[in-house]
Structure 1
Amino acid sequence: MDNPTGLAPATDAHLPEGLRTPFATTPSTKPTKQRLRPSAAILRPSCASLGLDLSDDSLAGTPRRVAKMYVQEWFKGLDPRNRPEVRMFHNRYNYHQLLVERDITLFSCCEHHFVPIIGKAHVAYLPSASVVGLSKLNRVVQYYARRPQVQERLTRQIAEELKQSLGTDDVAVLIEADHLCVMSRGVNDTSSSTLTSEYGGQFATDHALRQEFLRQIGK
């Protein structure tokens, strides 16, 4: 990925249009404290409209705590400064077989109801002249997960980011997750889970390679 300044872009402009998170404006890069104030100010009347007594010592700090959770934790993937820099290293080991990072803990948030999506991501690629530090695969997953999401877009965002960063289409991503919008409301189904996948390059055309990836992640 060509990024000589080392700075993250203002939005997801480097992704294909259909994969971009629907930003209404350029994501704010103001200091955290400045971003917390308006978020907390919005949450305060929302809590009051539910009949909660915000003068109670247990609830008085809730609007700010929730705002802090959104800005610094749940939705930190909306801040372009958190986009991981994926550094590549020369493949001096001449390793050209399947490389799999499985069971990456995934915590995201449903953009329809703002409730958690919890699961695992499995990613794989075929190294060529370069390899990537393994922790960077996890960081890419977390960057796109930590924002309001739908699982289908999240899966493809991770795959596209890895394709661009690794310089190869030979990338596979599979996500299995539980959605609390399904489990705790509506149908209240606590037994189902959602699987999504994206296969690029040889993973899309080589059935044996895809099956080996699925075997290694226990599918």
Structure 2
Amino acid sequence: MIVAIDAGNTRIKWGLRHAGEWLEKGALATSDAPWLVEAAEDWPADATIVVCNVAGDAVAAAIRQSLGTRAASARWLHPGAAQCGVENRYQPPQRLGADRWAALIGARALVGDACLVVCAGTATTIDVLDGDGVFQGGVILPGLDLMRRSLATATAQLPYANGEFRELPRSTDDAIVSGCLHAQAGAIERLHRTLPAGAPCLLTGGSAPLLAERLALPLRCVDNLVLEGLAEFAAEVAPADQSESA
């Protein structure tokens, strides 16, 4: 049995997995991290616990507190030069976000060939994974909500827009929402052109449904690619220096 925990900037997602199947999944706001203890009470005592955290030290501490005595045996995913069939060419490898690393590992397990890995959450990351499992590089953009919020907070008259996508918008709200979606989709399609023809784009994250409607390329939506990567990490014998104790 595996418990995978993905602590992101906005939400903490978790999943209970057995025999290659997700039995249960849940989520809560990252600001409510201490409440993870309620979910943890129902997890099997002998489950392998793996964690990916990009939300900072306070959230890491809250997760460890929620795990209680099991915190000492939990495995925390930290980017390195290579793992689970993926080679990391980030400079230096350890500076890559743990969530991006987990997503790349998950993509490799699901596709096994060249693909584009897009995580559309608080930030949008677009990463290129080649056919040999080598992470060649990628980009980071503000997510859709951050793009809209930046226009609302950094300008005098533009709103936090709640418009709809239009090819040729004729209202300010629609113009902002459409512009943000065009920007995200355009960046994804440009990076996709660096891959061989027919390579899929794996799309995950809270804004994935909105982006999927705008993308004209081979597309596969994955409910939570980071959890998929954590499951692969759990299946591999984790080195001792990747564990964190309370």
Tell me whether the two structures share a fold, i.e. TM-score over 0.5. no
Bigger Cα Rg: 1
The TM-score range, normalised by the shorter chain, is under 0.3
Higher relative CO (CA 8 A, sep ≥ 6), structure 1 or 2?
2
- TM-score normalised to the size of structure 2? 0.24
- TM-score normalised to the size of structure 1? 0.26
